[in-house]
Amino acid sequence: MMAIAVVLVSSGAFFLLMGAIGLLRFPDFYTRMHAAGKCDTLGSLLVLTGLACSEGLALTSVKILVMALFIFVTSPTAAHAVVRAAHRNGLAFWTNEEAR
Amino acid sequence: MQTFFLATSLVILLAVLLSLYRVIKGPTIIDRIIGVNVIGTKTIAVILLTGFLFERVEFFIDIAFVYALINFIGTLTLSKYFERKGVEHGRVT
């Protein structure tokens, strides 16, 4: 059980770090959102599931799994709302001409 | 196991620092909102890891629940507000 927990938590931390690097490095708001939204959801899900595995069968692990379900529902919702606000206000897309 | 939890929370805190650059430097207000949302999601994981470090998970998990709710509602409210007001007007330099 501990080995599964270690693997899940470290892969979740890896995804969180990669999402932060993508948020830092991508050139456009929409591409930054692409990195941040998905990596963040998957990374927190992996970390929370690994922590529930390390706790074993108890009330706290059930609570952690319920919180993982909550994050799985709400994080894409928040990302969708933010991208909708940007798109409705006509934020420009990044094109390749700006890089030259 | 405690050392592993400490190392993982340090890695996540490095990711929080990288996202903080986007909050401070972001060109539009929407970038800042996204940076705050990402930091909040990472903070939930760090709170839970801190609970495992101190072996008091049953207290820390309620704090993490409240933090998840505040993060979600805050991001949704800010995005709705700036959807109506306009993204470019919220530019803060």
Q: What's the confidence (pLDDT) of residue A90?
A: 78
Judge whether residue B93 has pLDDT over 60: no
| Contact indicator for B37, A82 with CB cutoff of 8 Å | yes
Judge whether residue B24 has pLDDT over 50: yes
Residue-number span of the structural domain to which A7 is assigned: 2-99
Question: If you average pLDDT over residues A28-44, what whole number do you get?
Answer: 90
Extents of the domains making up chain B: 2-88
Integer Cα distance of A13 and A20 in angstroms: 11
Cβ atoms within 10 Å, residue A18: 15
Burial class (CB in 10 A: 0-12, 13-18, 19+), B76: middle
User: B2-88 sits in which CATH class?
Assistant: mainly alpha
Full-prediction pTM beyond 0.90? Answer: no
As for how many domains chain A has, the answer is: 1
Which of chain B's residues have a Cβ under 8 Å away from the Cβ of A20? 14-16, 18-19, 38, 42
- Select the more confidently predicted residue: A56 or B73: B73
Q: Is B4 on the interface with A (CB under 8 A)?
A: yes
Among B4, B32, B34, which would you mutate to test the A interface (most chain A Cβ atoms within 10 Å of its Cβ)? B34
Judge whether residue A39 has pLDDT over 80: yes
- The position carrying tokens 């890089």 is A99
pLDDT tens for residues A68-78?
999 999 999 99
Q: What's the confidence (pLDDT) of residue A72?
A: 94
